[in-house]
Chains A and B, each alone.
Chain A
Amino acid sequence: MISGVIDFLTDPAQWSGPRGIPTRLGEHLYFSVIALVIAIVVALPVGLLIGHTGRGVAAVSLVVNAVRSLPSFGLLIFFVVLLSPLITGKNNLVYLLPTEVVLVLLALPSILGNTVAGVQNADAAARDAATGMGMTSSQVLFQVELPNAMPLIISGLRSATLQVIATATIASYVSLGGLGRYVFTGLAQQDYSQMAAGAVLVAGLALFVDLLLALVQRFVVSPGVSGRFSARAGTAPAATVTTENPVPAVA
């Protein structure tokens, strides 16, 4: 099995052309990035607003849990069947649109839920102090609550990203490109090496992107929040509560 996978991955023919690994990888990233950007643009402002005002927090947790228990594979097929008859002409859009709808839908709960939780969990004393110093409501949100919520927001983004990468793989089941293509073509051709190579590529991509976001987290999160002070400051790292919840990569 391992030698078959290595043979497949080191075959120069697999690294070029419209069905080569770089093309598939590019497609996979393309689908994932579109969905994540839309999800962030929608969920981040809404989450900040709900967290800041405290209105609709219960509704958010309800929606988040409901979407999480939906089977992503079923959702994908449902939207393909629902939306593809509405699109005529371009074939790629027939698959791209339903897939993106599902990917956005799956990315929203983690980002929205974690943004709301992050803002809500911001230290009440810090919030009060900011108001006492004369900060306006929006200053409190962007200068106090948002930096405090950053670790949770990024961890929500990380689990959303994993979810999207995993589901984009399954999207190849409905004839879209991406790395899942190897899994399903391999299955159809009874070519286990190809399937396993696809699985290895997907797993590698997921691990790599998660590592990248972990690095982003280090740069984006304020040292005051993460407890990482420079040696120059000479302060012992504050024992901050890091509530990184391991949200399962459903799908």
Chain B
Amino acid sequence: MSTAGSPLLAGLEQRAQLAAPPGLGRQVLSAPLAGLEQRAQLAAPPGQWDFVGYFRSHTSDVMSLLGQHVWLAVIPVVLGLIIALPVGYVARRFSWTYPPLVSIAGLLYTIPSIALFVLAPGILGTQILDPVNVLFPLTIYTVALLVRVVADGLASVPTDVLQSATAMGYGSFARLIRVELPIAVPVISTGLRVAAVSNVGLVTVATAIGTAQLGQLFSTGLQMSSFRSYYAPIVLGIVLCLLLALVLDGAIVVGTRLLTPWRRVVRPS
């Protein structure tokens, strides 16, 4: 198993050498290793869990990673929704297209994100560090998730509501925009929430191809743990990802409430 080139393993091997019984080799090694240990202590400050302290001392770096992360997570959700609405409508309107469209969507979902991140530059002809390589796969996932949700959401509109709308003189397009879509909003928003929350986690995988976002805190933490475990950047990254997922989820819930004011009236309280 190839283990060359891992910062962690390099640290472990050196630690193993330090632990070796005193002898000739130990004496020869001790001088350079003492220097390495000091450097390790500089690299990993004492508060190994102090992620708040890490945030304070690296605020501008972390905020720019967070900013990148927000864009990489949000743009695919917006683009995905814009693409999935017409496709989902087609899947609902022409029922023979539903099984193939849903199967294709499921197949796309099966491909691991890291594979799509790596293949994107080859498919699109972009540079490997181009953020489009992250936006493209995440948009595909969002579309794959939402096509079925949009189709099922439109299918959930009661027939008598459709008939009433037609009887009131709505044309098919006006009925879609002003009656069917608003009623489907709660179902679509459920899918949108899943897409947004999973995108936040998926974006971190793009560290594998070097795109700047919160996932870099994980690789930084791994590198700084060569000699002594240093959790601060890793925990900070996880906490910020969770917070971001929570905020995006909350934003979609609030947006859904604003778009569906009639649902509040029904509630007893």
Binding site for B on A (CB under 8 A): 1-2, 5, 18-19, 27, 68-75, 77-78, 80-82, 84-85, 88, 91-92, 94, 162, 165-166, 169-170, 173-177, 180-181, 183-185, 187-188, 192, 195-196, 198-200, 202-203, 206-207, 210, 246, 248-251
Interface flags, B32-65, vs A, CB<8A=1, else 0? 0000000000000000000000000000000000
CB contacts (< 8 Å) of B145 on chain A: these are: 246, 248
Question: Is residue B12 contacting chain A, with contact meaning CB distance below 8 A?
Answer: yes
Contacts of A69 in B (CB 8 A): 197, 200-201, 241-242, 245-246
Task: Assess whether B208 is in contact with A166, with CB atoms less than 8 Å apart.
Answer: no
Q: Which residues of A contact B19 (CB under 8 A)?
A: 88
Question: Are A175 and B115 touching (Cβ within 8 A)?
Answer: no
A88 to B12, CA, bound (A): 9
Which chain B residues border A75 with CB–CB below 8 Å?
A: 238
Residues of B at the A interface (CB closer than 8 Å) are 1-3, 5-6, 8-9, 12, 16, 19, 105-107, 109-116, 118-119, 121-123, 128, 141, 144-145, 148, 194-195, 197-198, 200-202, 204-205, 207-210, 214-215, 217-219, 221-222, 225, 228-231, 234-235, 237-238, 241-242, 245-246
B111 partner residues in chain A, CB cutoff 8 A: 203, 206-207, 249
Q: Are B215 and A74 in contact (CB under 8 A)?
A: yes
Could you list 17 further interchain pairs (A-B, Cβ under 8 angstroms) beyond the known A80-B8, A85-B228, A249-B112? A27-B1, A71-B215, A71-B218, A72-B201, A74-B217, A74-B218, A78-B231, A81-B230, A85-B229, A166-B112, A166-B114, A173-B219, A175-B1, A181-B2, A199-B116, A246-B106, A251-B112
CB contacts (< 8 Å) of A72 on chain B: these are 201, 204-205
> Which of B3, B221, B246 is packed against the most chain A CB atoms within 10 Å?
B3
Which residue of chain A has its CB nearest to the CB of B207? Answer: A73
Q: In the complex, what distance in Å separates the CA atom of A188 from the CA atom of B209? A: 10
In the complex, chain B residues whose CB is within 8 Å of the CB of A73: 201, 204-205, 207, 215, 218
Say whether A174 contacts B6, CB under 8 Å. yes
Specify the main secondary structure of chain A where it touches its partner.
helix
Q: How far is the CB of B194 from chain A (nearest CB, A)?
A: 6
Bound form: Cα–Cα A184–B207 in Å: 11
Given A169-B115, A176-B1, A206-B112, A246–B6 Cβ distance below 8 Å? no
Q: Are B198 and A250 in contact (CB under 8 A)?
A: yes
How far apart are A51's CB and chain B's nearest CB, in angstroms?
A: 22
Q: Is the CB of A170 within 8 A of B110?
A: no
Q: Shortest CB–CB separation between residue B170 and chain A, in angstroms?
A: 31
Cα A210 to Cα B110 in complex, Å, equals: 8
Tell whether, in the assembled complex, residue B112 and residue A81 are in contact, meaning their CB atoms are under 8 Å apart: no
Contact present for A170 and B215 (CB under 8 Å): no
Q: Are A246 and B148 in contact (CB under 8 A)?
A: yes
Cα A78 to Cα B24 with chains together (Å): 37
- Inside 8 A of A165's CB, which chain B residues have their CB? 112
Q: A-B pairs with the 3 shortest C-beta distances?
A: A166-B112, A1-B122, A199-B115
Contacts of A78 in B (CB 8 A): 218, 221, 231, 234-235, 238
